[in-house]
């Protein structure tokens, strides 16, 4: 995994962006700006601190509720804000999720570069197959599946969300 340096003024220390914790280290919903100092490919992004859900892996796509900041692996017909897990942040654990910048997500076979993203029936993964109501607004792929590694694709995100409404 990459090395991140928090760049937000006044935010020092705390839980690393790519780590999970069994103890809450920050207020849920805290948003920070951080830079991937190990890779110039990813640069600066925004990350939100959320509570995990079972079966979460690095790159899992989740929806989260803005009241309790609990996550759900995103799948067909989901509604709400979208975030990308930076760690294997499973149930009863806490971690950071990417909400803007360039990052890495789990994808399905055949996911192409430079494509719009859609939810799938495979919880936590995206695809580029058009499904009415499952478009992820403000997320698009920048690589095909298996870049940077098997089962993952690079995306750009800008506070993505789903509405379950046809355009």
Average pLDDT over residues 53-60: 97
Q: Given this model, what pLDDT does residue 14 score?
A: 83
Q: Given this model, what pLDDT does residue 3 score?
A: 66
Average pLDDT over residues 51-70: 96
112-164 pLDDT tens trace: 999 999 999 999 999 999 999 999 999 999 999 999 999 999 999 999 999 98
Burial 15-47 (b: 16+ CB within 10 A, else e): bbbbbbbeeeeeeeebebebbbeeeeebeebbb
Residue 10 has pLDDT above 50, yes or no: yes
Average pLDDT over residues 7-22: 80
Say whether 48 sits in a helix, a strand or coil. Answer: strand
The counts of H helices and E strands in the chain are 0, 12
Spatial neighbors of 137 by CB under 8 A, at least 6 apart, are 160, 161, 162, 163
Over the chain, what is the mean pLDDT? 92
| This prediction's pTM | 0.93
CA geometry: angle 92, 95, 97, nearest 5 deg? 125
Q: Where are the beta strands (DSSP E) in 1-151?
A: 4-6, 20-21, 31-36, 44-51, 61-64, 71-73, 80-85, 94-106, 116-119, 126-127, 135-141
Average pLDDT over residues 85-103: 97
Q: Given this model, what pLDDT does residue 2 score?
A: 52
Average pLDDT over residues 46-65: 97
Q: Given this model, what pLDDT does residue 1 score?
A: 42
63-75 pLDDT tens trace: 999 899 999 999 9
Tally Cβ neighbours within 10 Å of residue 148.
14
């Amino acid at each position: 995994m990459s090395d991140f340096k928090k760049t937000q003024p006044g935010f020092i220390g705390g839980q690393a962006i790519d780590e999970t914790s069994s103890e809450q280290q920050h207020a849920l919903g805290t948003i920070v700006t951080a830079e991937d100092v190990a890779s110039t490919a990813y640069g600066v992004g925004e990350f939100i601190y959320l509570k995990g859900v079972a079966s979460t892996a690095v790159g899992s796509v989740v929806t989260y509720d803005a009241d309790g900041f609990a996550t759900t692996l995103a799948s067909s017909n989901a509604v709400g804000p979208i975030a990308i897990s930076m760690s294997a942040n499973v149930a009863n654990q806490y971690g950071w999720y990417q909400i803007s910048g360039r990052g890495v997500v789990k994808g399905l076979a055949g996911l192409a570069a430079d494509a719009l993203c859609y939810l799938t029936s495979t919880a936590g993964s995206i695809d580029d197959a058009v499904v009415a109501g499952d478009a992820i607004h403000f997320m698009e792929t920048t690589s095909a599946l298996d870049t940077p590694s098997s089962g993952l694709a690079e995306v750009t995100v800008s506070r993505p969300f789903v509405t379950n409404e046809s355009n």
